Chain A
Amino acid sequence: MKIEINDLRFTYPTGLEALQGISLTIEAGEQVAIVGQNGAGKTTLVRHFNGLLQPSSGSVLIGEWDTKKHSVAKLASRVGYVFQNPDEQLFSKDVGTEIRFGPRNLGYSKEKIDELVTRALSLTELSDKTDTNPYDLSPTWRKMAALASVIAMDTPIVIFDEPTTGQDAVNVARIANVIAELRKEGKTVITITHDIDFCAENFDRVIALSNGKILLDGSARDVLGQEEILAQTYVDPPQLTRLGKRLGLKETVRNQDEFLKALK
C-alpha cells in the first residue's frame, strides 16, 4: 500500500512549527528508516501516517484514503504503530489476550485472529509466555509483547518508534529478525531510530529529517555516506561506512558483507 505525503506542514498549539513542508512517497513493501536529531520532527511525522495528528496544511494519503477523512481506529486496519514505550500500551491480564486486542478491534474472524496471534507470538519468540501477565515480563519482553500486539493486526504498513532503545544485543537481533520477516511478507516497514548501525543493516531507504524538513532521502547507501550533511542533523554514518571512508574504499559500504567484499 502506497503512502503519499504532499507538502505536509504541522504546527503545535504552542506555536512550534514541527513539520515545514514534507513531501514524499513510500511504495508498498519498502523498508524505510527515519533518522535525525532529537526534536527533528520524526515522531510528529509518523503520527500523521495513521491520523493521530492531522496536517495543519497539506495531505497524507494511505492507499486512496486521506487521513483527514478516516478515523484513527479505521486507519489502524492499514497502519500498525508500535509506540516507543511498551508501558503505554500493555494492559491485559495475559500476553495472549493483549495480542488479540488489536486484531479483535479490526473485526477479523476468530480463526483468522487465532492464526495471526500464533504467528505474532512465534515471530517475537513469546510463544512460551502466552499466559504470563505482561507486567510480570522483563522490560525486554514487554517490548516484544508490544511489537507482537501490533504485528498481529496484519496491517500492510507497520511503524516502529525507536524499537531498539535500551535493548541489549540479543534483543536487537530479535527485532531485526521481526523486520526481516515483515519484509518477506511484502509489508512496508517504517522505523524511527537513532541506532545508525541497525539502520544500515536492516533498511533499504533512509530519510534524514532536520528541523521539520527533509534533509536527505534516498537509498541507504547514498544517504548514509553523506557525512557532512548528516552531521547537520546530529547523525554519524554507520561504523563500517566510516571505516570504509577512512580506508579510501571507492563505494560506500553499509554492512559487514559489503565491507569485506569491497576490501578484497
Chain B
Amino acid sequence: MALVNLQNVTYKYPLTKTPALQNINLQIKEGEFVAVVGANGAGKSTLCYTLAGFAPHFFKGEMSGSIEVAGKESSKSTLDEWVLNVGLAFQNPFNQISGAKYTVFEEIAFGLENIGVPRDEMKDRVNDALALTGITDLADRSPYSLSGGQQQRVALTSILVMQPKLLVLDEPTSQMDPIGTREVFSVIRKMAEGGMTVVMVEHKMEWIAQFADRVIALKDGSILLEGKPGEVLTSDVLAENGFGISRYTSTAREAKKQGLWKKEKLPVTLDEAVEGFKK
C-alpha cells in the first residue's frame, strides 16, 4: 500500500490569486526515494509543505483534494500529530536552528525531548544520527558557529533523528561542498533502503539520477512528467521547458546530432555515459 497518497490536490496560499499547486495526484510507496525537480516558483516547496502538513495547517489558505500519509488524512489531523510521521528540512539552515540549544548535540536532541523520548534512548539516537551524517566531531560546537554547509547537515540530522516515516527535504544540500553533497545523497539512499520514504527537492541532476527511484518534474504547480530518472531526466520535454539537465544528457544529445552518440536512449549517469561513448 502506498505510504503517500495525494488525490486531486489543489492549494492556494492566502492573499494570492493563482494556486501554487494544481490537481496533484501522487502515490509513493514505502521506502521509495522520490526527487522533485522544477524551476524556482514551480511549486516544489509548496509540495513539501503540503506533505509535511504546513499547508494548510500552518499557512492557512485553501486546500482541496485529499492528502493521506501513513493512513492518516491531513484534513482530519492536527499538525502536532502529523509531524510525528513526517519530517521536514528546508533550504535555509540558519533559520532551522532552534535557538534554544547551546551545542549541536543538544540541538539534535531537541525534537526527541519534545516528543518525550526517554533519556538513554535519546542519547543513543543522537549519537547514531551524528555518526550517520558524519558530524560527530561537531557535537560540542555551538550550532551558530558552523558554516552554512555544516548547519545544513545539522538541520538534516535534527530531522533524521526523529525517524519519520516520510522524510521531506527541500534543497537540503544547497550550501554543501560537492563531495559532501554526494555523501548526503548516499546517506538518504541508505535511509530509503532501510524503509524510510523520502521526497527531496533538488537541482543537482547527477545525484538525483544516481540515487533516486523516481523523478517528478513540476511546472506551474502541476506535474509535467513523472517516472524513472533515466526516462524523465532525458526527456526532450524537460529540456524544452528550461529544466536543469545533467551534462551527460545535454552533451549526449548534442553528440547524437553529430553522430557521435549511437544509442537511442540518452544517458543520465556517468556510467551510462561511459557505456554509450565507449568505442
Contacts and interface: CB of A to CB of B under 8 A. Distances in A.
Given A38-B147, A260-B260, A243 B180 contact: no
A168 B243 CA distance: 8
Interface in B248-279: 248, 250-251, 254-255, 258, 260, 270, 273-274, 277-278
A177 to B, nearest CB: 14
B149 interface: yes
Contacts of B147: 38-39
Nearest to A141: B40
A236 B181 CA distance: 10
Contacts of A212: none
Contact of B180 (A37, A84, A170): A37
A140 B42 CA distance: 12
B174 interface: yes
A194 B40 CA distance: 19
Contact of B179 (A138, A162, A165, A231): A231
Interface in A209-264: 231, 233-236, 238-240, 242-243, 246-247, 256, 259-260, 263-264
B242 A235 contact: no
B242 A170 contact: yes
Interface string B180-208: 11100000000000000000000100100
Interface in A23-61: 36-39
B177 A235 contact: yes
Contact of A256 (B149, B177, B254): B254
Given A138-B41, A243-B270, A194 B177 contact: yes
Contacts, number: 105
A242 B277 CA distance: 13
A260 B258 contact: yes
A239 B151 CA distance: 27
Contacts of B176: 38, 194
B246 interface: yes
A240 B206 CA distance: 11
B40 A140 contact: yes
Contacts of B39: 168-170
A165 B250 CA distance: 21
Interface in B224-256: 242-248, 250-251, 254-255
A182 B26 CA distance: 45
Given A39-B149, A169-B242, A247-B277, 15 more contacts: A37-B149, A37-B177, A38-B176, A38-B177, A140-B41, A166-B40, A167-B203, A169-B245, A172-B244, A234-B180, A235-B178, A239-B206, A239-B247, A246-B270, A263-B255
20 contacts: A14-B145, A36-B177, A38-B150, A39-B147, A165-B175, A167-B40, A168-B243, A168-B244, A169-B203, A169-B242, A172-B244, A233-B177, A239-B246, A239-B247, A240-B247, A247-B278, A260-B251, A260-B258, A260-B260, A263-B255
